[in-house]
Structure 1
Amino acid sequence: MSALLIRDLRLAFRAGGGFGLGLGFFLILAVLVPLGVGPDQSTLGLIAPGILWVGALLACLLSLDRLFALDFEDGSLDLLATSPIPMEGVVAIKALAHWLTTCLPLALAAPLLGVLLNLPITAYAALLLSLLIGTPALSMIGAFGAALTVGLKRGGLLLSLLVLPLYVPTLVFGAQSVTRAAQGLDITTPLALLAGITAGSLALLPFAAAFALRINLR
């Protein structure tokens, strides 16, 4: 399984579709929002938590359509299905590789981009913590959506339509935790709910995604 993880990490960095593309999109969004909304610092500080979380969510979507598609096209997925590694493990490893190459850099860069949006200084720790807790759910939910659409040509749009509604609870509680931190309120409850969503996703969705992959490989 470690060899599969290293392989996926190498492919992601060589293709340039994970690390650089997600960060580039996130940076462009953080630059464009002040230009569109205006230079008012209070307005930017008010919308910054939601904008940063929406930006991270959309950046995570950019490379999801290739999570299983390339292996499906060249036959590697058939080999993985017949290997000693259970398909649930394959799904978990690919979701982990996606998180390491896409979501983790976004989480680490978000506090820096918060400066462009005048995010209150009291919310920086909550922003980083909420993204570290919530983004694994984004990767796993995305892996489930990618498994459902792996056999479809041009399934990227359908993947987005399937995944975005499932992202809503994570987005709501993640942005709420940052907003509450900016207002000086307790963030324990939204963070606990966010952690619960992530734990549930990691526990259940590998089995659902593996089942979808087996159907698509028949």
Structure 2
Amino acid sequence: MNIYLQTLKRDLRVAIRNPSSVLNPLLFFVISVSLFPLAISPEATTLSQIAAGIIWVASMLAVLLSLNALFHHDFENGVLEQMVISHHSLPLLILSKITAHWILTGIPIILLSPLLGLFLFLDSGGIKVLMLTLFLATPSLSLIGAIGASLIVGIKNSGMLLSLLILPLYIPILIFASSAVSQAQFGLEITGQLYFLATILVVSLMATPFVSALALKISLE
């Protein structure tokens, strides 16, 4: 666990020294959401009905935009190779890096979502459920994305390939998360959607560190 915390602190320090890698996806998130009323309709009724989908699509794309940096820096300076051949648990090290990614990307998205929800005329009940779905599912976005990032590490200009690998896996999360918010706005039951998102999180948390570790070993051979 000590190496987990050391790796987590190191990744957070690296991100602080290079703030653009953190700020760019968040700026993309805010700008994307802000443009939708201009493209669709400024009417409150229309925007409130599609607010959850807008924020969730923008969240997914922002996370996707940040995934290239998950292993890229460590690959370029040789740290990733040292992690693979070290005596420390590679899945634990990967989980630490994913945690840092979620802290730097997922948590800011969760904190920004109420303001963007108000901007899109989402009611207070919808905003609460939106934050809950983001809290449950943004870790899954980072975990699932880490598998794709580990498969393409070392490949130049791999953004499009990463999108093709990961976006189909994000679709169930998008469907159930936006559905939960929409149903909450009408006072309907959302337990099923939340259970589904929680199940994805648990499965991703259990499987991703080991799958990513195997993918990194194959990619670095």
User: Given the two structures, how large is their TM-score scaled by the length of structure 1?
Assistant: 0.96
Residues in 2 aligned to 1:165 and 1:18: alpha-carbon distance in whole angstroms: 24
C-alpha distance in 2, partners of 1:118/1:53? 15
Deviations 1:12-60 (A, max 9, x none): 2221244422321121122111111121111101110100111111111
Distance, in Å, in 1 between the alignment partners of 2:47 and 2:5 is 43
The equivalent of 2:141 in structure 1 is 138
1:96-139: CA deviations, max 9, x gaps? Answer: 11100001110111011111111122211101111000011000
In structure 2, C-alpha distance between the alignment counterparts of 1:200 and 1:136, rounded to whole Å: 11
Which residue matches 1:75?
Answer: 78
Which residue does the alignment assign to 1:24? 27
Distance 2:24 2:106 in 1: 11
2:21/2:69 contact within 8 Å kept: no
Residues in 2 aligned to 1:53 and 1:13: alpha-carbon distance in whole angstroms: 26
What is the rounded CA distance, in whole Å, between the counterparts of 2:132 and 2:57 in structure 1? 16
Runs (5+) with no aligned partner, structure 2: none
Residue equivalent to 2:191: 188
Take 1:209 and 1:203, find their aligned partners in 2: how far apart are those partners?
A: 11
Q: How does 1:52-131 map to 2 (within 5 A)?
A: 52-131=55-134
CA distance in 1: counterparts of 2:144 and 2:127, whole angstroms: 26
Aligned counterpart for 1:9 among listed residues 9, 12, 23 = 12
C-alpha distance after superposition, 1:55-89 (max 9, x if no partner): 11111111101111111111111111122321111
Give the Cα separation in 1 of the matches to 2:13 and 2:186. 41
- Asked if structure 1 preserves the Cα contact closer than 8 Å seen for 2:136 and 2:197, the reply is yes
Structure 1 residues without counterparts, runs of 5 or longer: none
For 1:203-214, what aligned pairs fall within 5 Å after superposition? Answer: 203-214=206-217
Task: Provide the C-alpha distance between the structure 1 equivalents of 2:85 and 2:12, rounded to a whole number of angstroms.
Answer: 22
Aligned length: 218
User: What is the CA RMSD across the aligned residues, in angstroms?
Assistant: 1.1
TM-score, normalisation: structure 2:
0.95
